[in-house]
Chain A
């Protein structure tokens, strides 16, 4: 990759302090001689929202697992806030397709679970006020002692957002967080996610299958192609913040969607 191309990938021209940096990260499984990921470069700047989009099996989840520190890369370097990621860290917040709240815990107890795991029950109790403030932030005020099976899908994901934020992470890794919700809730939750990220100046990285979702949320969309997994294009989304659902009818929005789809179609059938 030449210097010109690299500069296009690095934070895609956005100003800001780099928070998360990947340099030449590759993952191969020698025994099956599979290149899941091939020399990926990525910089997430502070307060930016980036998405990666690509067909199934293009290595998105491998990338995310490496970024989360649960899977070691075979090549390259991964730095968060200037320190190498060599395992799971409390300054990495993560969210999944399923809310995965545990039904024997109240909503509040679910939210402080990451604290309980790392620092014990006493520290978790000390965070209850913090957790209540987060519930307020996501619009679940007063739901502290409600059991998760009384929450709707969208409410459960809001609680999962609180659980992700409770450790004050430097980066948010979002693995298709709302794809299990119905279309209406999904659009609404995406706008909520934007609001929460803007309020906290969060640095976020989203994995998704939905082109409109990627465009409406992101400053930069990375298009990924499989075998080996690699970014084939980084597209800066030049739409004003805060984004609204109305922007989806904007011709500029349609142009971005078209461009990404064209790129994906090319990649998928290579």
Chain B
């Protein structure tokens, strides 16, 4: 038996890994610094005067207009009415896309018929530039909100189909065999095992769809008029009111972020067990 010798008098060999200066900056300071740098660069280009103010307005001018648009929105002005129309288009579009996308995803992922017969057509339609369908929706559904909802839903459906179908393939042989031996019905296998296991993939589809549904609604408004936020942007742009275009885009992106983060929030509630949704690691 060897006796462990504790009388070693040599100095400890403690050392630390090198972390670069950039990686040590905390997130809030890093993000804030980047923003300040960006605005400073913007101001510099503006001050030199190489670009016409009509094409690129100064940061202060834009900031003032953001405040103006914000005030109009919060005091219930005409912009709020326009925003509300766009919100409605986005919500209806998303709801329709989720319903159709989910059902088609189950058809494709769960049935051989769906995989053999339906999937090729979905892939074919998905590869088309979907914005090109806008004139058709306008002709079929008119210049009201319906045509924008249709385009938004049309764009957002496919990622949900793909996400749902991919989610249904996640269940491995073990899980399928286990449910078989427990005598589970197809319905039970789907709702108690396959769909919950596929939720991370389904939510990936939903997040892509959340971005697509915004793009669809605004594109629809650009091409087909109406009274939404896209129309405000189009009008401001045609009046060469560039600061207004900027501030409208910023508020529009807030709407997009709200939708996106709502999906992320729901994902964290439902898929609390999946590691990647919490810490970014690979889930099991």
Contacts and interface: CB of A to CB of B under 8 A. Distances in A.
B175 A113 contact: no
Interface range on chain A: under 10, 10 to 19, 20 to 34, or 35 or more? Answer: 20 to 34
Interface in B246-284: 272-275, 284
Contact of A149 (B177, B183, B275): B275
B273 A117 contact: no
A103 B283 CA distance: 10
A89 B183 contact: yes
Contacts of B178: 94, 96, 100
B192 to A, nearest CB: 7
A90 interface: yes
Given A102-B196, A104-B196, A88 B273 contact: no
Interface range on chain B: under 10, 10 to 19, 20 to 34, or 35 or more? Answer: 20 to 34
A111 to B, nearest CB: 12
B174 interface: yes
Contacts of B172: 98
B275 A88 contact: no
B103 interface: no
A117 B174 contact: no
B174 A96 contact: yes
B174 A88 contact: no
Interface in B168-193: 172, 174-175, 177-184, 188, 192-193
A53 B274 CA distance: 37
B248 to A, nearest CB: 42
Given A96-B174, A102-B193, A117-B192, A147 B273 contact: yes
A68 interface: yes
Nearest to B273: A103
Contacts of B193: 102
Given A97-B174, A100-B175, A117 B196 contact: no
A117 B177 contact: no
Interface string A86-117: 01111010101110101110000000011011
A103 B183 contact: no
Nearest to A115: B182
Contacts of A90: 183
A70 interface: yes
A96 B181 CA distance: 11
Nearest to B177: A96
B266 to A, nearest CB: 14
A112 to B, nearest CB: 11
Contacts of B183: 87-90, 117-118
A97 B180 CA distance: 16
Contacts of B273: 103-104, 147, 149
A96 B172 CA distance: 12
Contacts of A114: 182
Interface string A42-77: 000000000000000000000000001110000000
A98 B178 CA distance: 10
A165 to B, nearest CB: 13
B173 to A, nearest CB: 9
Interface string A214-227: 00000000000000
A88 B182 contact: yes
B274 A118 contact: no
Contacts of B197: 102
A251 B162 CA distance: 60
Contacts of A147: 273
A90 B88 CA distance: 51
Nearest to B183: A88
Nearest to A69: B181
A197 B30 CA distance: 61
Interface string A122-151: 000000000000000000000000010100
Given A68-B181, A96-B174, A100-B175, 13 more contacts: A88-B180, A92-B181, A94-B178, A97-B174, A98-B174, A100-B174, A100-B178, A102-B175, A102-B196, A103-B284, A117-B182, A147-B273, A149-B284
11 contacts: A70-B181, A88-B180, A88-B181, A94-B181, A96-B177, A98-B174, A100-B174, A100-B178, A103-B274, A117-B179, A149-B284
Closest 10 CB pairs of A and B: A103-B273, A88-B183, A98-B174, A100-B174, A94-B181, A117-B182, A104-B273, A114-B182, A117-B184, A70-B180
